[in-house]
């Protein structure tokens, strides 16, 4: 039987771990045979030494094998999904799942909750009266058959090793390791059972990956893992230097998502959504025009069917904050910068996000971008509207926005929200953070 301390030393000193050793490590940690202290040391060794392709494949496979796989084989429509690495105002999943479903695919989207300045899809949808995030496997299949798409929490039986490792990485300073990020995301998505997957890897101040080289490395690694596991995979690198759309929060993002599904969304949000939809449909082998589905009512109908199938009332009024305040432009000119991270932190401090996974969130808190980069603003014109139920939170939210708005004499250069498309390139031999 392998020895945990010897394997920690081996990885610390730059040696490769064999697939057998990795399977033993993941299995023993999941079952409680390896202590958190020992796995913390191994994670730190991986953070500094990386994992090569064979190690990463074995690590991901072991996490998948730690639990069950969702069987989607009984569905007649081709299955496809999307995963985003997270951003500010990123309500794309709320639009994309029903949009792609309305074009003929089945979309099983297992989503998560927000942490820090990035929002969580489940938190947003829980703004809707009666909507349920937790479904059994049988309920997931029923919603997929009836509505064509489902957005819900991953069950406890899906990649349980990742749940333990994710919590440990969060408190040991090893979150930023690219092989650990890639294996965490892909183990859950592969176990989900989808036939194809598109990864939306955000780049910029409001993203987890702030520079394009790191984002590209992560995207290539995840695409390679998906394809190696038989899941047709590709990735788009998309901008996250300003909030996506105009709403940042929970209920306010649901409201904007519904407007977009009705053909009235902001241009940047529509562009990213349609690019991802086209990529998902391509991988699923479906020839359809997602833009038409946004304008002819099909996408909105799919959304309403999904919400109702999960116990929600799509006609129920969304929560509205009791208090508001605004941040105005200091001078007249072109709005050049609206820092995504600062806006995300402000929404978080208003109550829309959480510092720890167990913290509650406010459905009504958030920030509305009354102007976006490229708009002309007058001195004193409101640029941001802050919303919340607790007026005591506004001071710290406003502090987060110091320096977030830049107004200049020239407009910013036009920027396509989609930066690159990644297909099939193998990752580097050493996948270090």
Give catalytic residue positions. Answer: 83, 162, 169, 184, 188
Nearest to 71 by CA among 233, 191, 229: 191
Give the whole-angstrom CA distance, residue 33 versus residue 54.
Answer: 24
Tokens 């309305």 -> residue = 102
Exposed e or buried b per residue across 150-189, where buried means at least 16 C-beta atoms within 10 angstroms of its C-beta: bbbbbbeebbbbbbbbbebbeebebbebbbbbbbbbbbbb
Please tell me what DSSP assigns to residue 128: S
Count of helices and strands (H, E) across the chain: 16, 13
102, 132, 174, 199, 356 from 144: Cα distances, Å: 12, 15, 36, 21, 31
Nearest to 341 by CA among 349, 351, 333: 349
3-state secondary structure of 21: helix
Q: Count of residues for the chain?
A: 433
159, 314, 342, 397, 412 from 382: Cα distances, Å: 46, 31, 17, 16, 19
Residue 323 host element (H or E):
strand 323-328
- Are 172 and 37 in contact by the 8 Å Cβ rule? The answer is no
């Amino acid at each position: 039987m392998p020895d945990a301390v010897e394997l920690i030393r081996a990885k610390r000193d730059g040696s490769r771990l064999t697939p057998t050793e990795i399977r033993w490590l993941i299995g023993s940690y999941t079952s409680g045979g390896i202590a958190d202290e020992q796995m913390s040391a191994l994670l730190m060794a991986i953070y500094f030494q990386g994992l090569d392709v064979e190690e990463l494949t074995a690590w991901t496979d072991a996490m998948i094998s730690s639990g069950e796989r969702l069987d989607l084989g009984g569905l007649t429509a081709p299955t496809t999904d999307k995963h985003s690495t997270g951003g500010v105002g990123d309500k794309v999943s709320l639009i994309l799942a029903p949009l792609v479903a309305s074009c003929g695919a089945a979309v099983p989207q297992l989503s998560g909750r927000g942490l820090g300045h990035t929002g969580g899809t489940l938190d947003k949808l829980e703004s809707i009266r009666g909507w349920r995030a937790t479904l059994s496997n049988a309920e997931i299949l029923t919603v997929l058959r009836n509505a064509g798409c489902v957005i819900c929490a991953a069950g406890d039986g899906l990649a349980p090793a990742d749940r333990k490792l994710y919590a440990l990485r969060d408190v040991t300073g090893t979150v930023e390791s690219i092989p650990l990020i890639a294996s965490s995301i892909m183990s859950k998505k592969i176990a989900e059972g989808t036939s194809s997957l598109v990864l939306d890897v955000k780049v910029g101040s409001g993203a987890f990956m702030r520079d394009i080289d790191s984002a590209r490395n992560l995207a290539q690694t995840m695409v390679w893992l998906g394809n190696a596991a038989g899941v047709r995979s590709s990735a788009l690198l998309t901008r996250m230097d300003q909030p996506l759309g105009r709403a940042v929060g929970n209920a306010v993002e649901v409201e904007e998502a519904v407007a977009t599904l009705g053909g009235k969304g902001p241009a940047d949000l529509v562009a990213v959504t349609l690019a991802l939809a086209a990529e998902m449909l391509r991988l699923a082998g479906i020839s359809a025009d997602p833009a038409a589905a946004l304008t002819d009512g099909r996408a909105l109908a799919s959304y309403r069917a999904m919400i109702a199938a999960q116990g929600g009332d799509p006609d129920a009024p969304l929560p509205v904050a009791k208090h508001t305040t605004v941040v105005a432009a200091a001078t007249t000119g072109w709005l050049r910068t609206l820092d995504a991270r600062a806006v995300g932190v402000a929404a978080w401090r208003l109550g829309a996000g959480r510092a720890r996974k167990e913290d509650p969130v406010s459905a009504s808190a958030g920030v509305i971008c009354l102007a976006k980069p490229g708009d002309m603003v007058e001195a004193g014109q409101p640029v941001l509207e802050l919303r919340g139920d607790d007026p005591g939170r506004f001071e710290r939210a406003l502090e987060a926005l110091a320096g977030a708005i830049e107004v200049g004499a020239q407009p910013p250069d036009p920027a396509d929200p989609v930066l690159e498309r990644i297909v099939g390139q193998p990752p580097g031999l050493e996948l270090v953070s």
